Amino acid sequence: MTKLIPCPLFINGEWTTVSGTATTPVHNPSDGSVIAETPQCGAGVVEEAVAAAAAAFPRWSETPPVERARLLFRLKVLLEDHFEELAQGVTQEHGKTLTEARGDVRRGLENIEYACGIPSLLMGDALENVARGIDCDSIRQPLGVVAGIAPFNFPAMVPLWMWPLAIACGNTFLLKPSEKVPLTTNRIAEFARQAGLPPGVLNVVHGGREVVDALLKHPQIKAISFVGSTKIAQYIQATGIAHGKRVQAAGGAKNSIVVMPDADVGPTATGILEGAFGCAGERCMAGSTAIMVGKAAETVLPHLVAAVTKIRVGPTDRDPAAQMGAVITRQHADRVCQLISQAEGEGAEPLTDGRNVKIGAVPQGFYVGPTILDRVAPGMITMQEEVFGPVLNVARVETLEAAIELANASPYGNGAAIFTRSGQAAREFRHRSSAGMVGINIGVPAPLAFFPFSGRHASFFGDLHLQGRDGVAFFTQQKVTTTRWFGAGEGTIWADK
Ligand code: NAD
């Protein structure tokens, strides 16, 4: 048996282990092997980490923003220096290709770069003479101890959506990464330690529901940032709010790509392919339903099918030619295949079929091949549920109107895209789409660090989104000061005239 990678907790600037807790296996999805074990922590660990974060808060919040930024610059340099190592780590614990893993780390790093601008981002407003001789200004102050809970699908990026901006704002942080991919977070926390982050400013706790509940209920935690599936996002929001916390909770998704008859065939097929099958479909911005308008199915679909049949599925950690990796667990692979079967039973026509994919060199890997299901209808299971695997629905409609209606019928509201050469159709689509992030001739319209990740409906619960100015507003509270200074003899009604 290969040696397990240690998975300690990071509390008060030190790496510690917990004994006697249950553990969850961390797999290398490429070959199914167990590479680490995540400790299932509980309330005791949270208590310890909150105490460390609370003790660090007074000094950290008084640290000038420019000094906090300087520390994040140092962290950025360290992460750049270890960029390839981090990307390889993402590939190992997640299964995505090295190119995709590099994107995961790069998008995360951009959030650190954004947070480095905190002296400007924290600036408030001021207005002179709100009344005669009276001025008013607003400043932003940190909340205190805050926490983040992350999903498995972007081991580097999603945690980095959360804590760099939060600590740049002067808060101290408890991070709980997904128990399926805890190792990238630990590696980045180690670089934060090496960059000189004071003890207690960032703490990493591990586990599942028990540790999450302890975070949600702890009276000293002021805010929770969550990214994960819709069911859990709803639970996080309801429980967090019931315990007096500010909550931002990003949930699951079901995103459509509308293809107009005038769309450029090559770029459109590529855009759909990347949208549906990039990261093996394990993306909240995956374009999981292509809505073909009129003749678009005849022109684009054959190119798409031809390209998809050539996708090389394989072990991304050892085969540099692999274009698509395994999904996160055996259980998840089975669920994806079962959803494909169910959709087929409901009348969908598989044009490519990823069930029963076996890679000879790694028979225990968690593989599902890229699957295109043609002629799906609104009620079918794969149109209703987030599959979160390499499965593309193809629906056919006759008009843009019908396409918008079908795309907007989704209870989710993360992303939606249109491929067209018509500015008028694109404008109409952007205006009427019920999704919060729209792509025009872009398959995965995921906003970068300086824009909010603006999902709607069942894809987001809360008011202020992750990333960008929304992120700064979420992790701070405003104080408005109204000021008047008196000249000699001014301001009292009893003054002698
Ligand atoms: P998940 O909801 O299963 O887990 C997310 C986090 O919640 C993990 O840290 C997990 O430990 C914790 N958790 C799981 N079950 C819990 C429970 N019963 N009680 C308390 N905590 C619990 O999500 P996942 O499978 O890790 O990630 C995939 C999901 O995340 C997909 O639905 C995807 O769309 C979504 N996602 C959304 C966005 C977005 O911006 N909207 C971004 C990335 C991923």
Domain 9-251+459-481 has CATH 3.40.605.10: yes
Residue found under tokens 């600036």 = 123
pLDDT 10s digits, 344-354: 999 999 999 99
Nearest of 267, 355, 341, 279 to residue 304 by alpha carbon = 267
Q: 3-class DSSP state for residue 409?
A: coil
Q: Is residue 281 left, alpha or beta, with left meaning phi > 0 and alpha meaning psi from -120 to 50?
A: left
**8 A C-beta contact, residue 427 and residue 450:** no
Ligand 1 contacts CB of residue 446 (under 6 A): no
Q: Among 215, 225, 232, which is best to mutate for testing ligand 1, by the most ligand atoms less than 8 A from CB?
A: 232
**Cβ neighbours of residue 294 closer than 8 Å, sequence gap 6 or more:** 260, 261, 398, 399
284 as an active site residue: the answer is: yes
Instruction: Please give the CATH topology (third level) of the domain spanning 255-440.
Output: Aldehyde Dehydrogenase; Chain A, domain 2 (3.40.309)
Residue 423 and residue 410: Cα distance in Å, rounded? 24
Q: How confident is the model at residue 496 (pLDDT cuts 50, 70, 90)?
A: low
CA-based torsion, 100, 106, 111, 114: positive or negative: negative
| Structure confidence by residue, pLDDT tens digits, 104-144 | 999 999 999 999 999 999 999 999 999 999 999 999 999 99
Confidence band for 75, pLDDT divided at 50, 70 and 90: very high
Q: Which residue has the tokens 């270890």?
A: 82
Confidence category of residue 224, pLDDT binned at 50, 70, 90: very high
Å from CA of 110 to ligand 1 middle: 22
Rounded (10°) CA dihedral 406, 391, 232, 184: -140
The rounded distance, in Å, linking the Cα atoms of 371 and 391 is 5
Q: Does residue 249 contact residue 455 with C-beta atoms inside 8 Å?
A: no
* Distance between CA atoms of residues 238 and 249, nearest Å: 10
Residue nearest to atom 22 of ligand 1 (CA): 209
Q: Is the pLDDT of residue 497 over 90?
A: no
What is the spatial distance between Cα 327 and Cα 279, in angstroms, rounded to a whole number?
8
Q: For residue 493, is pLDDT > 80?
A: no
CB 92 within 8 A of CB 35: yes
Instruction: Identify which of 411, 304, 388 has the alpha carbon closest to the alpha carbon of residue 340.
Output: 388
Conformation bin of residue 336: beta by default, left when phi > 0, alpha when psi is -120 to 50: alpha
pLDDT at 32 over 70: yes
**Residue 165 DSSP one-character state:** H
Q: Is the dihedral of CA 452, 455, 144, 146 positive or negative?
A: negative
Residue 491: the pLDDT is 78
Other beta carbons within 10 Å of 10? 24
Q: Return d(Cα 45, Cα 62) in angstroms, integer.
A: 27
Neighbours of 335 (CB within 10 A): 17
pLDDT of residue 494: 67
Higher-scoring residue by pLDDT: 340, 20: 340
Residue 278: pLDDT band with limits 50, 70, 90: very high
pLDDT value of position 160 = 98
Give the pLDDT confidence of 372-413 residue by residue, as tens digits.
999 999 999 999 999 999 999 999 999 999 999 999 999 999
Tell me how far the alpha carbon of residue 34 lies from the centroid of ligand 1, in angstroms.
Answer: 21
Catalytic residue, from 116, 279, 284, 337: name it. Answer: 284
What separation in Å is there between the alpha carbon of 466 and the centre of ligand 1? Answer: 15
What pLDDT is recorded for position 492?
77
Q: Is 284 in the pocket of ligand 1 (CB under 6 A)?
A: yes
- pLDDT per position as a tens digit, 439-480: 999 999 999 999 999 999 999 999 999 999 999 999 999 999
Q: Note the pLDDT tens digit of each residue in 264-276.
A: 999 999 999 999 9
pLDDT digits (tens, 9 = 90+) for 230-249: 999 999 999 999 999 999 99
Domain ranges of the chain: 9-251+459-481, 255-440
For 390, phi and psi rounded to 5 degrees?
Answer: -80, 65
Structure tokens of 374? 């043609």
pLDDT for position 364:
98
How far away, in angstroms, is 339 Cα from ligand 1 center? 19
In this structure, the residue with its CA closest to atom 39 of ligand 1 is 250
Q: Are 175 and 159 within 8 A, CB to CB?
A: yes
Average pLDDT score, the chain: 97
List the strands of the sheet with 14-16, edge to edge.
14-16, 9-11, 202-204, 172-176, 145-149, 221-227, 246-250, 460-461
Strands 23-28, 14-16: pairing is: unpaired
Q: How far apart are CA 73 and CA 69, in angstroms?
A: 6
With 0-12 / 13-18 / 19 or more C-beta atoms within 10 angstroms meaning exposed / middle / buried, residue 139 is middle
Residue 231 near ligand 1, beta carbon < 6 Å: no
Residue 459 near ligand 1, beta carbon < 6 Å: yes
140-176: pLDDT as tens digits? 999 999 999 999 999 999 999 999 999 999 999 999 9
Give 96-100's long-range contacts (Cβ < 8 A, gap of 24+). 96/279, 96/280, 96/282, 96/316, 96/325, 97/316, 97/322, 97/323, 97/324, 97/325, 98/316, 98/320, 100/278, 100/279, 100/325
